[in-house]
Amino acid sequence: MGKQSKKCAGCWGWLLAIIVLAVVVVGVVLLIKHKNGDNSVPDAAPVPGSPGVLTKSYADALKLAMQFFDIQKSGKLVNNTIPWRGDSALKDGSEEKLDLSKGMYDAGDHMKFMFPLAYTATVLSWSILEYGDQLKAAGQLESAQGSLKWITDFLINSHPSPNVLYIQVGDPTLDHKCWDRPEDMTGKRPLTKVDTSAPGSDVAAEAAAAMAAASLVFKSSDSSYSSSLLKHSKDLFKFADENRALYSESIPDVQTYYNSTGYGDELLWAAGWLYHATGDKSYYDYVTGDNGEEFANWGNPTWFSWDNKLAGAQVLLSRVSFFGSKDISNDDTLQKYRSSAEAVMCGLLPKSPSATKSRTKSGLIWVAEWNSLQHPVGSAFLAVLYSDYMLSSRTPKITCHGRHFSPFDLRNFAKSQADYVLGNNPLKTSFLVGYGDEYPQFVHHRGASIPADKKTSCQDGFQYLESTDPNPNIAYGAMVGGPFLNETFIDSRNNSMQTEPSTYNSALIVGLLSGLVTTSSVARSLGQ
């Protein structure tokens, strides 16, 4: 634990949470330890030791990637640094007397979809919690916290009562009939919600996960905001758990864009986050009891994505096994989460006997044609986390069908995926807009494609989609969909499968880069 605290300024909340939960279990003896922990690890303490040397390429990429959140912001902008962006969607939510003006647009369009947006907030929170001091060293911590809060403010306003969550602003059919700048939108922005008559455990539990994770991020800097997030999270989790249903069955229209294929993963993920945020044993019992048996799909690797959080939940719960108190960390069910996380890692490592075949010739994890980079980047983020958990806990190896792999093997895998994204690929092009000499010029993004001084209506903006000129505004930091399996990429604005960026992509690449941005200080201390 001492090592862990050295590693990461953003982890104080976690450390305290872990200590607090130990207290719940073992009582008085550890209570004393808890107090010591409180005294010796104050939230505002300077970070002991530095996070290691910054790797310039990753630091530059991280700074860029962070900018895409600013490009996607809806509402009345504060401290806007994007010259071609301005206020937009100020009346979102007004027909229900709600202020849903904040939050972020999903991708190249102007929809606000809660399911992927909440996932964005959960992943961004996780990055800040684990890699807060790396982000700080790269000068990006404030920006990351600010972007997170832009989403969590929206989440809070989307949850006006315990059993009601607004899950969509805008109608994709109407929205996609237009090609305009967000600042010039005039179309209707209808609202969609889940409640007890049309429940959605997946989307509600994801929002709960996001708010629990974010409550840890803001715990020391804004405790009343943090408490409010936690209250919303608990209520949403209860609503999700007690009204079990897929939102895409309750509201079939959502299937077209963000269909959900299950809610068990989100329930475990949310409970895992609530356990970290509260130390309340009931959340631990939730994931290790019947729900674990029903939903955890032990030992079978899955792909971490906006739809499926199982691999994320397994890594998150492994954290408890790595750093929790002995009596908890030896729990059999917790070990099942950890071995499932290891099965995920074994699938990713290219030399593992159980290595996945879902890879391009030059080694990029490749699972789906649409937005192909989401899976390699999400997987690499989990790999760098797992690698750091191993280093911090002095766990020298994992074993994949008899073969051993070190934390460095996992880190190297994570680097290989990041490097591919940044241009080390057969096309020698970066898929992070603005990074390197070659990057996509025809990003499928309305705001980027229309000159900022041209006011267009819904329809006449389509000339900018169809134009053969590159985008007039560069969507700096956008991570586009990415290559086909055969490693080709068609840089065309109407090729949304490959050239459209998304807000959740940004959370994943920011997470990955924040894990890679400094040489690991923990690795050095192991070598002493």
362 binds ligand NAG (CB under 6 A): no
Count of residues binding ligand NAG (CB under 6 A)?
A: 13
- Choosing from 110, 159, 232, 444, the catalytic residue is 444
Q: Which residues neighbour 254 within 8 Å (Cβ) at sequence distance 6 or greater?
A: 115, 167, 168, 192, 247, 248, 260
**27, 28, 39, 78: residue in contact with ligand NAG (rule CB under 6 A):** 78
Among the residue ranges 194-202, 219-227, 323-331, 484-492, the one whose residues contact ligand NAG (CB under 6 A): 484-492
**358, 484, 523, 526: residue in contact with ligand NAG (rule CB under 6 A):** 484
Q: How far is the CB of 483 from ligand NAG (least distance, A)?
A: 9
488 binds ligand NAG (CB under 6 A): yes
Q: How far is the CB of 91 from ligand NAG (least distance, A)?
A: 20
Q: Which of 144, 60, 133, 217 is nearest to 520 (CA)?
A: 133
Beta strands in 252-370 (DSSP E): none
Among the residue ranges 32-40, 216-224, 341-349, 483-491, the one whose residues contact ligand NAG (CB under 6 A): 483-491
* Rounded alpha-carbon distances, angstroms, from residue 55 to 64, 105, 417, 497: 14, 31, 16, 31
Q: Which of 205, 340, 323, 214 is nearest to 266 (CA)?
A: 205
How far apart are the C-alpha atoms of 272 and 167, rounded to whole Å? 22
Q: Annotate each residue in 23-62 with x if it binds ligand NAG (CB under 6 A) or - if it does not, as one string.
A: ----------------------------------------
146 binds ligand NAG (CB under 6 A): yes
**492, 497, 523, 525: residue in contact with ligand NAG (rule CB under 6 A):** 492
How far apart are the C-alpha atoms of 499 and 448, rounded to whole Å? 12
Q: Which residues neighbour 500 within 8 Å (Cβ) at sequence distance 6 or greater?
A: 107, 108, 371, 443, 444, 445, 480, 481
**36, 81, 223, 486: residue in contact with ligand NAG (rule CB under 6 A):** 486
84 binds ligand NAG (CB under 6 A): no
CB nearer ligand NAG, residue 233 or residue 248: 248
CB nearer ligand NAG, residue 146 or residue 162: 146
Give yes or no: 444 in active site. yes
Structure tokens at 285: 């019992």
Structure tokens at 246: 């897929």
173 binds ligand NAG (CB under 6 A): no
358 binds ligand NAG (CB under 6 A): no
SS3 content of the chain, % helix, strand, coil (to 5): 55, 5, 40
CB nearer ligand NAG, residue 497 or residue 526: 497
Q: Which residues neighbour 328 within 8 Å (Cβ) at sequence distance 6 or greater?
A: 21, 22, 25, 284, 320, 334
Bridge partners, residue 365, by sequence? 359
Q: Which of 221, 270, 321 is nearest to 12 (CA)?
A: 221
Using CB under 6 A as the binding rule, the residues of this chain from 455 to 474 that contact ligand NAG are 468
494 binds ligand NAG (CB under 6 A): yes
**79, 161, 224, 528: residue in contact with ligand NAG (rule CB under 6 A):** 79
Q: How far is the CB of 219 from ligand NAG (least distance, A)?
A: 18
CB nearer ligand NAG, residue 273 or residue 464: 464
DSSP state of 46: P
Q: How many CB atoms lie within 10 A of CB 512?
A: 32
CB nearer ligand NAG, residue 227 or residue 261: 261
Q: How far is the CB of 108 from ligand NAG (least distance, A)?
A: 14
- Please state the φ and ψ torsions of residue 421, each to the nearest 5 degrees: -60, -35
How far apart are the C-alpha atoms of 124 and 140, rounded to whole Å? 12
Q: List contacts with ligand NAG (CB under 6 A).
A: 78-79, 146, 248, 255, 259, 261, 468, 484, 486, 488, 492, 494
Which sequence positions are flagged as catalytic? Answer: 444
